[in-house]
Amino acid sequence: MKNISITTLDNGIKVITEKLNHVQSFSLGFWFNVGSRDEDEKNNGISHFIEHMLFKGTKKRSAKKISEEIESLGGYLNAFTSKEHTCFYGRGLKENISKTFEVLADMVQYPLFDSEEIKKEASVVIDELYDIEDSPDELIFDKFESNIFNGNTLAFPIIGTEKNISSFSQNDLFTYLKKHYTINNFIIVASGNVNHKEVVFLAEKYLKKNFRNSKTSFRNLLLNNSTDLFVEKDTQQVHYIIGKPTYGYKDIKRISVAVLSHILGEGSSSRLFQKVREEHGISYQINTFLNSFYDISTFGVYLSTNDKTVKKAEELIFEEIKNICSKKVSIKELERAKEYLIGNMIMSLESTTNRMNRIANQILYYDKIIPIEQTIKKIKSVTKEEILELSNEIFNSKENVANSSLTRVILSSKNFLLDKAA
């Protein structure tokens, strides 16, 4: 693609830029191929904790100075940690990319990890953990993935545990940084009104630390059988998920699963929304989800309702699953789902941050940039026959759907699990 340039520096770090002349800003991301999936039981949460601590000061800058230098130019800095990646990024006007690059480079190379700041930030992150515990619609997804991926590091929550967060030391952070913040785990991506040669120059100028290479760690995927789980929580509503693992980013079938997901439960025209909310008035929130990693995804249905109607809601979910497994979807329904996916994807690319994220994920997952036209072509090629075959594969419809390999997690103040038979 003519507007995307890739350079590998002499030290091995990749720099990828996308030139967009029609905007006056940029999004710049420093990406590390490390997340909670690369942790163990004793240090679970350390990737996310380091993300916080890199904003707490360097040898040259205090925490206040880090934010002031960027905000005084009308930009901002932020970061996020996922199960597979950590990203530190900045946005700003095109003329301020040099300062943003310098500050980000300082943060990732020379953090202080001051012991007093570690203690203070531990309290902040524990408060963030409590916020998740107080948000049942967020907590239930953590519980679902911990259950589905039990015995695998994908089961670890990104934020970690209170015990671990409270125990991280300066040495723990530096040791983890040295192991994982390495050349072969590091890429720089910018999208917006940027000049590729300038970004390469900035990388050569400001990235002086010897990041060294590290052995490529193998992310093991061992799935154990999971069972239905009840989580007791003082809530007004019953929060419910039913789902299972399916194809990850590396498998072309994931695109077909995304189409299936939309038909079944994404958007107000989807089958489950129409059946459960519009026809029966049972649930305010009901939707399917597809949460993807390199080699696997979780796919399922989430809803919130009350304890008197949750059984009926589940019956309606199973009814729609049986319907989609027994009869081909209509051309109209299939095309609507495809156009929804394509439209959302194209509209998301009006954001330079989304574009930067897309490029980074493609480099990290595929080691190449996939043109959007190619993705659109794959979506458009999904057939009615594929959706029917995939539905039967995922939901094991030769058996009673309620007795298939789907796993349920229920979060409620009332301790119960639904009968297995719908």
In a domain, 214, yes or no: no
Average pLDDT of the segment spanning 87-112:
98
Domain that holds residue 236: 229-412
Count of domains forming the chain = 2
- Both 243 and 170 in one domain: the answer is no
- Both 130 and 9 in one domain: the answer is yes
Query: Which of 172, 173, 179 is CA-nearest to residue 216?
Result: 179
Residue where the block lists tokens 């202080």: 112
Q: What is the pLDDT of residue 401?
A: 44
Q: What is the pLDDT of residue 225?
A: 83
- Work out whether strand 14-19 and strand 25-32 pair parallel, antiparallel, or are unpaired: unpaired
- Both 199 and 234 in one domain: the answer is no
pLDDT band at 89 (very low <50, low <70, confident <90, very high): very high
Residue 132: φ, ψ to 5°: -65, -45
- Both 83 and 127 in one domain: the answer is yes
- pLDDT of 198 > 90? The answer is yes
- pLDDT of 422 > 50? The answer is no
In a domain, 420, yes or no: no
More confident residue, 397 or 1: 1
- Both 50 and 149 in one domain: the answer is yes
- Both 233 and 283 in one domain: the answer is yes
Q: Which residues are the active-site residues?
A: 51
Tens digit of each residue's pLDDT (9 = 90 or more) over 16-52: 999 999 999 999 999 999 999 999 999 999 999 999 9
Average pLDDT of the segment spanning 179-193:
96
Q: What is the pLDDT of residue 219?
A: 83
User: How far is it, in rounded angstroms, from Cα 290 to Cα 67?
Assistant: 35
> In the predicted model, what is the mean pLDDT of the chain?
94
- Both 237 and 197 in one domain: the answer is no
Which helix (H) or strand (E) covers residue 19, if one does? strand 14-19
Q: With contact defined as beta carbons under 8 Å apart, do 275 and 316 qualify? A: yes
Q: What is the DSSP string of 49-114?
A: HHHHHTTSBBSS-BHHHHHHHHHTTT-EEEEEE-SS-EEEEEEEEGGGHHHHHHHHHHHHH-B---
- Both 197 and 250 in one domain: the answer is no
Residue where the block lists tokens 């980013």: 249
85-112 in b/e form (b: 16+ CB < 10 A) is bbbbbbbbbeebbebbbbbbbbbbbebb
Q: What is the pLDDT of residue 417?
A: 60
Average pLDDT of the segment spanning 259-287:
96
Q: What is the pLDDT of residue 400?
A: 44
Average pLDDT of the segment spanning 295-311:
96
pLDDT band at 378 (very low <50, low <70, confident <90, very high): very high
- Both 51 and 179 in one domain: the answer is yes
Query: Which of 180, 176, 159 is CA-nearest to residue 113?
Result: 176
Q: What is the pTM of this model?
A: 0.94
In a domain, 347, yes or no: yes
Q: What is the pLDDT of residue 2?
A: 76
Which helix (H) or strand (E) covers residue 239, if one does? strand 238-246
Cα-Cα-Cα-Cα torsion 51, 55, 58, 60, nearest 10 degrees, comes to: 150
Tens digit of each residue's pLDDT (9 = 90 or more) over 326-377: 999 999 999 999 999 999 999 999 999 999 999 999 999 999 999 999 999 9
